[in-house]
Structure 1
Amino acid sequence: MGRYIGLDVHRDFAHAAIVEDGIVSDAGRADCRPAALREWMTGLRSDDEVALEATGNSDAIATLLTSHVARVVVSNPLKTRAIAEANIKTDKVDARILAQLLAADFLPSVWLPDERTRRLRRQTMRRAHLVRQRTRLKNQVHAILHRNLLPHPPVTDLFGTVGRRWLAGQDLPNDEHHTIEALMRQLDFLGEELALADRELAAEALADPVVRRLMTIPGVDAVVALSVVAAVGDFGRFSSSDKLVAYLGLHPRVRQSGNQPASHGRITKAGRAQTRGMLVEAAWVAARAPGPLRAFYKRVKARRGFQVAVVATARKLAVLCWHLTVDGQDYAFARPSLVAFKQRKLALTAGAPRAHAHRGPGYDYNDKQLRRHEREVIEVAERAYETLIAGWQPRRPAHTGTADFGVRPRQA
């Protein structure tokens, strides 16, 4: 029988505990540097099982351990309440509890992504970091204008050629001009890095049929689709769209006890915040585009307000992502010329040659008559959806007695 090993992981070391034949014992510390960790793993058996909590370096440690032991379990720290709520909390105690929970097969685990998914997560996070840095620099420029009582810029893009010319002509103290020039240099550098990151991601998107399929949804571009694919990995590991929605943290919190009706609160915000934020941004775009998604947004907005409506639309996008991927189908209400335009733009970002003097893929989107016709077709579908859901009402929870234990009869 193999042993059950718990690792309380820190940045530089991990404290180990072992359960063997029902007896718990301490196994000292293991250095987390790759060479030292490989040397420590030589003492492991092929039938051992190892458990560790999800931390910043747990993924790399789990990858090294996978080839040496029978099973590696990375536990969800939010669900390992025995450790989080312990009155006595030390490295030894944490490692012992992990080993004991693993031995009892009572350890909530997280999914370990494959190497491509890890790479996509790193790339999308790097791009998100660059965007945040650019936004911070732009906000500093606007703050300079605000504190010097300058009017709102009369240009659409303050950081374009015309906007920079307008900035240079403003009456500002010399030190403020120097600050703006320094911010612009940093902004140009980050813009170059962002262009490189977009090119790498565009190449990944072109090679992924799932990403191209998700791009048929209004509001979902390559960056949003890649963020979803990076967060989810294998869509088949979710048995239903509700499971995916819960994984992304877009389900409302529910509290219910006894015969009391369920109380629904804000969304759980579990999972990757970056992907959830990207879906919300995509929902804003989808809410302005003609189609059933806009009708859905308007219906929820009329009852609950725009903030709840946009989050509900983001949830709907997550449901669509699951169905389209699992069923292997494109979005039924996609606009063909717009989808071709998005894919052509993606190819150009990846470095494809530009087609001069002839019409290439995606050119149909420039045809106003065709674009108007597609829009009219989608607007018909939107009105049909509005008619379909006009009489829908929110379902109230059924009142159950004390003898049926809250189980509702199955509907025929």
Structure 2
Amino acid sequence: MLYLGIDQHAKQLTISLRDEAGDIRLRRQVSTQPERCAEFFTKLNEKATAEGGYIAIVEVCGFNDWLLAILPQYGCAKTVLIQPTKKLKIKTDRRDAHALSELLWTNRDRMRDGLPITGARQVVLPTKHHAESQRITLLRKDAGRMRTKATNRIKHILRRHNLQWQMPTKTFPSVKAIAWLKTLSLPPVQRQEMDWQLEELERWTKRMNDLEVIIINQCQGDAMVDRIRTIPGCAHYSALSLVCRVGDPHRFPKGKSLAHYWGLTPGVNDSGEGTGRRGRITKAGSTMARWVLAQITLHCLRHDPVMKAWYKPIKNRRGSKIARVAVMRKLAVIIRNMMVHEQTYQECRDAMLNRRKRQLAANKPAA
């Protein structure tokens, strides 16, 4: 068996190939041009066939899709995808590829036994349906951000001329307010800028509406999405964003495992006698999942009196920001339990809070 480490960039792949003894068999760079990649991986497959095949390891990045698709076509027995590690002071592409192949070689026995690798945070590849859902929800988030940016620029033009008081509606954007802005008298340059921003607002609003239709169609027949939608303030977009970033919920042995996976648990910095030092949350997982959970948290605190009653004591002790993160972590635990036990939000929330009360009562010293 051969062990292939790939440091991927936009224009080239840096390759490090080891044999079963751990010795380097090949070090080189390969252009990402399709014909060059096809030529290299064809020769690699011919060489590896005589030695039992090969396994590849790649760091996750924003353009892994094409590489992960072609590796099985050229005889790769397994592809391991990991999150990038912290950057070293001395860093080159060759060093990175060398470290990846070494990591793969040292974990060869664990992979034969079907165990996860050690020394890196392994990424589980999503299914085709979940990968499409992840992309759609990211496009929806970007469209919402661009629409908000166009709205803020329009408001800024009005503030420069102190015209915000003349807007016919209190909320913006609205049909009446947009019609008023199209006929508003402004200096020539500002009038042209206003027209451009109105066009941008209309374009991004249309894209958001189109994506909402696609998201609703993507959710059809998905029982997990329907259960997640029982959370206050969680519609199709938020539910699909979370479900497609969980994948198989049974790979998380406990509810807090999902909170840790999404980077919502505090970091630890223990050394010597200084133990129990807890820092900020690790932010090690999906930024999109944390962002959606932050939006859902605001709705839960408005519409769920039970969660709000749990939130208030933490807010009084530690402040609102830390308390909201605690609610996000609690929601991650509830979401995992909802998906595993096939229960609604209210059932999982009440079961978790009752379990916590029993634990506190059991640990309370007798009077």
Taking structure 1 as the reference length, what is the TM-score of the superposition?
0.75
CA pair 276-146 structure 1, distance change in 2 beyond 3 A:
same
Structure 1 residue runs of 5 or longer lacking an equivalent are 335-377, 396-412
Report whether the alignment pairs 1:160 with 2:194.
no
1:102-157 residue CA offsets vs partner (Å, 9 max, x unmatched):
11115522222221121111111111111111011111011112222334556232
Q: Equivalent residue of 1:258, what SS?
A: coil
CA pair 35-212 structure 1, distance change in 2 beyond 3 A:
farther
CA apart distance, 1:35 = 4.8
- Supply the distance in 1 between the matched residues of 2:263 and 2:69 (Cα, whole angstroms): 26
Structure 2 residue runs of 5 or longer lacking an equivalent are 108-117
CA apart distance, 1:326 = 0.5
- Supply the distance in 1 between the matched residues of 2:71 and 2:119 (Cα, whole angstroms): 18
1:213 to 187, 212, 227: 227
Aligned to 1:4: 3
Aligned to 2:143: 130
CA pair 132-62 structure 1, distance change in 2 beyond 3 A:
same
Report whether the alignment pairs 1:181 with 2:171.
no
RMSD across aligned positions (CA):
2.7
1:237 to 251, 254, 257: 251
Aligned to 1:354: none
Q: Equivalent residue of 1:231, what SS?
A: coil
Aligned to 2:110: none
CA pair 258-64 structure 1, distance change in 2 beyond 3 A:
same
1:215-261 residue CA offsets vs partner (Å, 9 max, x unmatched):
01112221111111122222122111222111111112222223324
Q: Equivalent residue of 2:13, what SS?
A: strand
1:31-64 residue CA offsets vs partner (Å, 9 max, x unmatched):
3244543443222236311112222222431232
Q: Equivalent residue of 1:4, what SS?
A: strand
Aligned to 2:321: 307
**1:219-368 superposed matches below 5 A:** 219-332=233-346
CA pair 232-25 structure 1, distance change in 2 beyond 3 A:
same
Taking structure 2 as the reference length, what is the TM-score of the superposition?
0.84
- Farther-moved stretch of structure 1 (317-326 vs 37-46): 37-46
Aligned to 1:57: 63
- Supply the distance in 2 between the matched residues of 1:33 and 1:116 (Cα, whole angstroms): 28
- Supply the distance in 2 between the matched residues of 1:264 and 1:276 (Cα, whole angstroms): 20
CA apart distance, 1:168 = 4.8
Higher helix share: 2
- Supply the distance in 2 between the matched residues of 1:179 and 1:210 (Cα, whole angstroms): 45
